[in-house]
Amino acid sequence: MSDSAGITESTDTAASTETAESTEMNMLTAINHTLHREMARDDRVIVLGEDVGANGGVFRATEGLYDEFGATRVVDTPLAEGVILGASVGLAASGLVPVPEIQFLGFVYQAFHQLAGQVARMRYRTRGRFHAGITIRAPFGGGIRTPELHSDALEGQLCNIPGLKVVMPASAADAKGLLATAIRDPDPVLFLEPLRGYRLIKGQVPTGEHLVPFGRAATVTEGDDVVLVAWSYMVEVCRRAAGKLSDLGISARVLDLRTLVPLDTEAITSAVEECGRAVVVQEAPRTGGFASDVVAEINDRALWSLEAPVARVSAYDNPYPVGLLEDDYLPDVDKVVEAARRTVEAS
């Protein structure tokens, strides 16, 4: 990315920051903290969505914004996703910087035309005369017993819409650094927040200016027998799986893609070249998922480095199941360990 002057290069393992000062936050707090900072930094930023204002958001992600910035910048909308995203295009084209929230990612189906037919295409359709710099925040994913449409991992569908960027942080620090980059980015960004990670994922978060560039994967666990490629909450699952694999004498590397569009194909390629084996882990159903794309990229770029077929661990090809069934449906540590073990034993 070269369009935002404030963006600094990050290393593979950590994002660059203005100062070394940091404090522990969970992912939700990091998101809230970043929204406060970005709204204070740029008065064109407007947050809108269902219950984001006076209520502070169903998960508290927008808590305090309404009191600090007022009703003209933190706007409660009716439950009407189509017009939330459609109006965001109008706001963006008028020079404002909308940050709409889709309360659960599954609800974006109500607005799919606005997203795929309007938000994503404005720049291309008008050859840059018109564009929609919008950051759409949406919690998604399973593991907290929400019903279907509150849990689905739809990123594969979203990555198949040219014009959108798809950002999926896995750590509290990245949630801050990637959200700040998204809000300052001139393109539409889907910023997907893992529900399970909101309070569970914690870490040191730089308290000052902190930007993580798009398209840079991060190695979160070192290893050289097999690389586990993942994004969002599946990074946490892979990290735990790597610990178990270590007990089995297998050295697993964990690569966090951080952003799916743009995709860091170089990091994937070099990890596969160095490890010779790969497992791609996604929370979404198997068929047509983004993991398939990662496998295809590995085939294109690193096929001759492979010592075993690339494995995929995913959910099953069924609608999101309710209640305890999600424990069977979702990829977990044991499934990742098993796939990695088979991959290592395959040759």
Partner 1 sequence: MATQSRTELLAAYRTMATMRAFEERMHIEFAGGGVPGFVHLYAGQEASAAGVCANLTDHDVLLNTHRAHGPAIARGADIFAVAKEIYCRGEGLCRGRGGSAHLHDTKNGLWAANSGVGSGVALGCGAALAARTRGTGGIAVALVGDGAVNQGVVSEGLNLASIWKLPLVVVVENNGYGEATAAGYAIAGGGIARRAEAFDMPGVQVDGSDYFAVFEAAAAAAERARRGKGPSLIEVEVTRFFGHFEGDAQTYRSRDEAERARRERDCLANFRRTVVAEGILDAGELDLVDTDVADLIDRVYAEAEAAPYPPDDELMEFIYADSL
Which residues are tagged catalytic?
150
**Choice from 6, 128, 147, 288 touching partner 1 (CB under 8 A):** 128
* In the chain, alpha helices (H): 27-41, 65-69, 81-93, 112, 122-125, 155-159, 172-184, 197-200, 233-247, 265-275, 290-302, 326-329, 333-345
**Binds partner 1 (CB under 8 A): choice among 33, 37, 123, 253:** 123
Q: Which of 2, 9, 324, 345 binds partner 1 (CB under 8 A)?
A: 2
User: Any contact of residue 264 with partner 1 (CB under 8 A)?
Assistant: no
CB of 179 to partner 1, least distance (A): 18
Rounded to whole angstroms, the Cα distance separating 137 from 49 reads 10
Say whether residue 129 binds partner 1 (CB under 8 A): yes
Rounded to the nearest 10 degrees, how much is the dihedral formed by the CA atoms of 35, 38, 40, 42?
-140
DSSP 107: G
Among residues 75 and 291, whose Cβ is nearest to partner 1?
A: 75
Residue 186 or 203: which CB sits closer to partner 1? 186
From the list 37, 131, 239, 341, which residue makes contact with partner 1 (rule: CB under 8 A)?
131
Site membership for partner 1, residue 163 (CB under 8 A): yes
Assess 8 for contact with partner 1 (CB under 8 A): no
Cα distance between residue 221 and residue 212, in whole Å = 19
Between 65 and 245, name the residue whose CB sits nearer to partner 1.
Answer: 65
Does the protein bind partner 1 through residue 77 (CB under 8 A)? yes
Please write down the HEC assignment for all residues of 221-272. Answer: ECCCCEEEEECCHHHHHHHHHHHHHHHCCCCEEEEECCEEECCCHHHHHHHH
Using CB under 8 A as the binding rule, whether residue 221 contacts partner 1 is answered as: no
Does 93 bind partner 1 (CB under 8 A)? Our answer is yes
DSSP 136: E
| Peptide linkage before 262 cis (omega within 30 of 0) | yes
Q: What CA–CA distances, in Å, run from 295 to 1, 163, 164, 167, 281? A: 24, 22, 21, 19, 11
Least gap, CB of 312 to partner 1 (angstroms):
24
Kindly state whether residue 3 participates in binding partner 1, applying the rule CB under 8 A. Answer: yes
Instruction: Please report the DSSP string for 176-217 in residue order.
Output: HHHHHHHHH-SS-EEEEEETTHHHH-EEEEESS-B---TT--
- Is 87 a binding residue for partner 1 by CB under 8 A? The answer is yes
Among 30, 91, 212, 235, binds partner 1 (CB under 8 A): 91
- The yes or no reply on residue 117 touching partner 1 (CB under 8 A) is yes
Phi-psi map region of 141: left, alpha, beta (phi>0 left; psi -120 to 50 alpha): left
Binding characters for partner 1, 277-306, by CB under 8 A (x = yes): ------------------------------
Q: Which residue, 84 or 337, is less far from partner 1 as judged by CB?
A: 84
Residue 268: φ, ψ to 5°: -65, -45
109 scored as a contact of partner 1 (CB under 8 A) = no
For residue 8, count other CB atoms closer than 10 A to its CB: 15
User: Applying CB under 8 A, which part among 75-83, 279-287, 309-317, 323-331 lies near partner 1?
Assistant: 75-83
Q: How long is the chain?
A: 347
* Closest CB 184 distance from partner 1, rounded Å: 11
Site residues for partner 1 per CB under 8 A = 1-3, 46, 72, 75, 77-78, 80, 82-83, 85-96, 98, 113-114, 117-118, 122-131, 162-163, 165, 185-187, 215, 261-262
